[in-house]
Chain A
Amino acid sequence: MAKLDEALREMAGDIPGIIAADIVGADGVSIATHSVDPKFNAEGAAAQFALAMKLLEKSAGMLQIGTVEDNLLSTAKTYIVSRLLGDGSYYLLVTVDRSDANLGNVRLMARQYADALWDAVPKRKM
């Protein structure tokens, strides 16, 4: 897991305004986290976005618009970018403070680090 933690930390270092970055299983369990703001409920976000990502995948399938790559949630305070990794059994969740972050940079970094993060994910038994 050290390799994954390191890759996540490196990516987070390239994103100004970062609040939290997580690698989350399709079951909603975060297996690696890099949190800058302890007030942010990163574990809650991981679980909630697992449900959201599954719905988005289903919707994209029903609409036949291709596979989901990433998703953006904009709120008054944050941008939250979630990006599927590898075979879709994990996703990357990046939360940033929108007053400090550049959305283009967040999405670019998520895309650039996706393969390295996926390579570092320990593959599950089941």
Chain B
Amino acid sequence: MATEEQKKERMRRLFNDIIFGYGKGLWDLFGEASQATAETIGEDILEDMERELGLEIHGENPQALLTEIERLIIDEYGMVKSARLEISDHEVDIFCEGCQLWNVTQQLKEAGVPPYHCVPMMMARAALHKRLGKKARLIGIKHDAEKRSCEIDIELV
């Protein structure tokens, strides 16, 4: 019988495979328009955090919002080992290492699909829009396979 660690790892791989299937299927059907679903999912995640976990993202300062998202995805969810979300005039740079969705991100990349399912990105987009009325769109991603890290750039519109 599998140990608890093995079960967790298998479940994580299973969820990655399911997300890949849906992500790829949606992309095949809708192409770039699939990204229109990202903000809705981000809003749902934020709502769920507020309702079920009592966690709330406060503030009117964009960098403070993003820093709070960093804390939530590392300390409250264990989604990534480390993260840095930084805002400049027209862009937000999201740098993550040790993401639980690393495998699906790689699979999608190999299939030519951008990481529109990226959780920190969806949360950042939804929070910036909901709290500050700022819209954002994905413009690029860089991967470092050795470090299992991603750098995702979103542009403020």
Contacts and interface: CB of A to CB of B under 8 A. Distances in A.
A89 B155 CA distance: 16
A29 interface: yes
A7 interface: no
Nearest to B141: A126
Nearest to A57: B31
A50 interface: yes
A27 B29 CA distance: 13
A31 B90 CA distance: 13
Given A31-B157, A47-B39, A125-B155, A26 B139 contact: no
Interface string A18-60: 0000000111111100000000000100011011011100100
A85 to B, nearest CB: 14
Contacts of A77: none
Interface residues of B, number: 18
Interface of B: 29-36, 39-40, 135-140, 155, 157
A47 B139 contact: no
A51 B33 contact: yes
A55 B30 contact: yes
A43 B134 CA distance: 12
B110 to A, nearest CB: 18
